[in-house]
A and B are shown apart, each in its own frame.
Chain A
């Protein structure tokens, strides 16, 4: 039973909603400790190691041709993967949220598969599919097309691993927005591409950008799947994470961490862009 509360009891209720001070201190303290132990400290160590042989050695390691090739390959991969997955993601989210068809629930579940499968297995799938020992792979080889141990393989593996980001970002957003606006546009005489360009895309643009950022971050850092299909050919099929690993296994710690610091910079950059976008997103969300 609800009992009428006397008005003076209001502050008491307010106090009861938040936890007591000691609990707050312990929780905040634990979070801080975790951050220091698992994020700030390791990041600091990366830079400490990177600069352990001095500025010059750092610059040399970063400017070394193999390192530059690795950065180029990683950026190329990102440049191909992110637009493609943005396109696939929008298509999948559109299909799932705007149409009714059989197997829709299954498709929605399968979208998460790349997250659930170990990246190494994802890489192996493609080796088994288009590797030089398979009929399809050898046929491709005869046509002079090489997929495994070359850039296309790396791109395909990264595409697979990062596929869900955009779709997962868009599906809840588009589900919440419903089909009303598209239907209104349809009754007003708009064609499909006009509806997409003028109504749907503006409505999802922040979600789309956010998904693309997550997709970029993962593409830059992907190791497992890429490692299986790349073949680790220096200067040709080494992405930044693979290059870091090779240097590390050669006990060249200073160079390894120097290159790793590039990854840290790229990560900080994406996080920065993400934060900026989130602010924009919130500012615009009152239009939702």
Chain B
């Protein structure tokens, strides 16, 4: 096992940042800690690195209890949100730092350091910038150097704290694909923290969804996306339409309409429920094809690239419904603002109980 976290709890004055977290990460795995800001995910990462101390719990890295080791002996690579490159040092000096501060008898020779730094900079495709200063590099380039610097000390685990969040959308996407390929190449056990569900879904072997200091769900991106265990996870993993209603006699009310309750809630007594529908799981047509179809009017059309976003006012519904349809369908149906259409809710997920984000 690469990383074992046992019952980690951490409180700051006034609130609990982490509440009894237990988590295992297999060697060579790339795991995403996903959650809204303030959920404790960064605190958890900093505790693994030793930058914060847990109130209780154990941290085991590669079968070794490191809970009480000082940070510098933990041998973790840490990549910061804002890069944290040493501004007074060149790219070479930055990457060499972890090797040069080793005690004399463990320190590699000058030429060995030179070779290792050059190798790492090639790996992150930054070898051309070896003599530059951080201020002369773009954000994406800085983060690559920061990654090389973290890898220089052969860390047991690599921890990345929102590594791409300070970058613009295009670079962010490029860099995360590149990081995925790099991880497939070097296989270092890695945890990265993110609040961007797309990033987690695309990059991670496994996603751990955290909310309010607790783990809500963990699993492969597919599992978590297709089978969210509760309303929070469902809501956090993508855009949703939320319908507040009630479960009664095996039916769930959505506005004035009703749909069948899911099997596990068929015999539930009457209670409040929430139904969720993702915008891309809504069908739009010009003709009514089923009795459950809703009549609606297009209030707003948003061009989102390949997809078209529609804002629909539907009869019997208090709030407008958001739908996303392929551009082709939009063109074929000759839709426009003010047009009347029929709306089918293809996949309704129902959860009971309260939750907040």
In the bound complex, CA of A1 to CA of B135 (Å) = 39
Chain B residue contacts of A198, Cβ below 8 A: 86, 89, 97, 101
- Of the listed residues A185, A191, A203, A288, the one surrounded by the most CB atoms of chain B closer than 10 A to its CB is A185
Contact of B80 among A184, A194, A286, A287 (CB under 8 A): A184
In A164-187, the 8 Å CB interface with B consists of: 180-181, 183-187
Q: Are A187 and B101 in contact (CB under 8 A)?
A: no
Q: Who on chain A is nearest to B94 by CB? A: A184
Q: Are B133 and A287 in contact (CB under 8 A)?
A: yes
B249 to chain A, nearest CB (A): 54
Judge if A189 is at the interface, Cβ distance under 8 Å. yes
A187 to chain B, nearest CB (A): 4
Q: Is the interface of A mostly helix, strand, loop or mixed?
A: helix
Judge if B153 is at the interface, Cβ distance under 8 Å. yes
Judge if B170 is at the interface, Cβ distance under 8 Å. no
Judge if B276 is at the interface, Cβ distance under 8 Å. no
* Mask of B42-84 contacts with A, CB within 8 angstroms, 1/0: 0000000111000000000000000000011111111010101
Q: Who on chain A is nearest to B73 by CB? A: A189
Q: Are A184 and B102 in contact (CB under 8 A)?
A: no
Judge if A26 is at the interface, Cβ distance under 8 Å. no
Question: Known: A190-B101, A286-B135, A287-B135. Is A185-B86 also a contact (CB below 8 A)?
Answer: yes
A200 to chain B, nearest CB (A): 10
Name the interface size band of chain B.
20 to 34
Judge if A107 is at the interface, Cβ distance under 8 Å. no
Q: Are A184 and B78 in contact (CB under 8 A)?
A: yes
Q: Who on chain B is nearest to A286 by CB? A: B135
Judge if A129 is at the interface, Cβ distance under 8 Å. no
Judge if A80 is at the interface, Cβ distance under 8 Å. no
* Mask of A265-288 contacts with B, CB within 8 angstroms, 1/0: 000000000000000000000111
- Of the listed residues A184, A185, A194, A288, the one surrounded by the most CB atoms of chain B closer than 10 A to its CB is A184
Question: Known: A188-B153, A189-B72, A287-B133. Is A183-B84 also a contact (CB below 8 A)?
Answer: yes
Q: Are B51 and A186 in contact (CB under 8 A)?
A: yes
In the bound complex, CA of A137 to CA of B84 (Å) = 51
B267 to chain A, nearest CB (A): 54
With an 8 Å Cβ cutoff, the count of chain A residues facing the other chain is: 19
Q: Are A188 and B149 in contact (CB under 8 A)?
A: yes
Chain A residue contacts of B84, Cβ below 8 A: 180-181, 183-184
Chain B residue contacts of A183, Cβ below 8 A: 51, 78, 80, 84
Q: Are A181 and B72 in contact (CB under 8 A)?
A: no
Judge if A199 is at the interface, Cβ distance under 8 Å. yes
Chain B residue contacts of A184, Cβ below 8 A: 78, 80, 84-86, 146, 149
Chain B residue contacts of A185, Cβ below 8 A: 86, 97, 101
Q: Who on chain B is nearest to A285 by CB? A: B135
* Mask of B124-155 contacts with A, CB within 8 angstroms, 1/0: 00000000011100000000001001101100
Q: Who on chain A is nearest to B149 by CB? A: A188
- Of the listed residues A187, A191, A199, A288, the one surrounded by the most CB atoms of chain B closer than 10 A to its CB is A187
In the bound complex, CA of A184 to CA of B77 (Å) = 9
Chain B residue contacts of A286, Cβ below 8 A: 135
Judge if B302 is at the interface, Cβ distance under 8 Å. no
A119 to chain B, nearest CB (A): 38
Q: Who on chain A is nearest to B79 by CB? A: A184
In the bound complex, CA of A191 to CA of B102 (Å) = 9
Chain B residue contacts of A7, Cβ below 8 A: none
Q: Are B135 and A187 in contact (CB under 8 A)?
A: no
Judge if A202 is at the interface, Cβ distance under 8 Å. yes
Q: Are B98 and A188 in contact (CB under 8 A)?
A: yes
In the bound complex, CA of A237 to CA of B142 (Å) = 57
In B66-123, the 8 Å CB interface with A consists of: 71-78, 80, 82, 84-89, 97-98, 101-102
Question: Known: A186-B72, A190-B72, A190-B97. Is A287-B102 also a contact (CB below 8 A)?
Answer: no
Contact of A191 among B87, B101, B133, B153 (CB under 8 A): B101
Chain A residue contacts of B149, Cβ below 8 A: 184, 188
Q: Are A187 and B88 in contact (CB under 8 A)?
A: no
Q: Are B133 and A194 in contact (CB under 8 A)?
A: no
Q: Are B102 and A203 in contact (CB under 8 A)?
A: no
Chain A residue contacts of B71, Cβ below 8 A: 186-187
Chain A residue contacts of B86, Cβ below 8 A: 181, 184-185, 198-199
B interface list, Cβ under 8 A from A: 49-51, 71-78, 80, 82, 84-89, 97-98, 101-102, 133-135, 146, 149-150, 152-153
A-B contact pairs, 15 of them (CB 8 A): A180-B82, A181-B85, A181-B86, A184-B78, A184-B146, A185-B101, A186-B71, A187-B50, A187-B72, A188-B98, A189-B101, A189-B102, A198-B97, A287-B87, A287-B88
Question: Which 6 pairs between the two chains have the least Cβ-Cβ distance?
Answer: A180-B84, A188-B98, A187-B78, A202-B88, A184-B84, A190-B101
A interface list, Cβ under 8 A from B: 180-181, 183-191, 194, 198-199, 202-203, 286-288
Extra contacts besides A184-B80, A190-B98, A199-B86 (10): CB < 8 Å: A183-B80, A185-B86, A187-B74, A188-B101, A188-B149, A189-B153, A190-B101, A198-B86, A198-B89, A203-B88
